Amino acid sequence: MTSDEVRRVAELARLVVPEEELPGLISQMERIVAHVDRLRELPEELLPDPELPAETVLRADAPAEGGGDRELEANAKTMAHGHVVVPRVVGGAP
């Protein structure tokens, strides 16, 4: 692992990593990667054929009462016109 790789992982995880913590994190990340790398030791021919995925269990498609809007609204920070208000994530400034 290089310090650039650790910085990149931290950036993706939205973490601020002080420079002095980098060497410690590099060695920890190296150990983690080495640990998972052990899976390469498993010869593929030893592994069983992948099982077919189990059939998806479905219940009858019958109409039923839902949980009710009241509980939903109780957990919404802001409601407007019967809708939950969420932050704008697309487009320009409002």
Partner 1 sequence: MRSVEEIAAAVSSRTSSAQEVARDTLAGIAQLDGALSCFLSIDEARTLACAREVDARVAAGESLSLAGVPVAVKDNIAVAGRPATCASRILEGFVPGYDATAVARLQAAGAVVVGKTNMDEFAMGSSNENSAFGPVRNPWDHERVPGGSSGGSAAAVAARLVPAALGSDTGGSVRQPGSLCGVVGFKPSYGRVSRYGLIAFASSLDQIGPLTRTVGEAARIYEAMAGSDTRDSTSCAEPVGDPVGAASRSVFGMRIGLLAEAFTDGLDADVEKNFRAAVGVLEGLGATVSEVSVPRAPYAIPIYYVIANAEASANLARFDGLRYGPAATRPSLLPSTAPTARAGSARRSSAGSSWAPSRFLPATPTRTTVAPPAPGRCCRAISTRRSAASTR
Q: Site for partner 1 (CB under 8 A): which residue of 50, 57, 61, 65?
A: 57
Q: Is 36 an interacting residue with respect to partner 1 (CB under 8 A)? A: yes
Size of the site for partner 1 (CB under 8 A): 35
Q: Site for partner 1 (CB under 8 A): which residue of 2, 4, 13, 81?
A: 13
Rg of the chain over CA atoms, in angstroms?
A: 24
Q: Which two tokens stand for residue 29?
A: 């990340």
Q: Return contacts of 39-48, CB within 8 angstroms, 24+ apart.
A: none
Backbone angles phi, psi at 25, to 5 degrees: -65, -35
Query: What is the rounded distance in angstroms from the CA atom of residue 1 to the CA atom of residue 32?
Result: 11
Q: List contacts with partner 1 (CB under 8 A).
A: 9-10, 13-17, 21, 25, 28, 31-32, 35-36, 38-39, 41-42, 46, 56-59, 67-68, 70-72, 74-75, 86-90
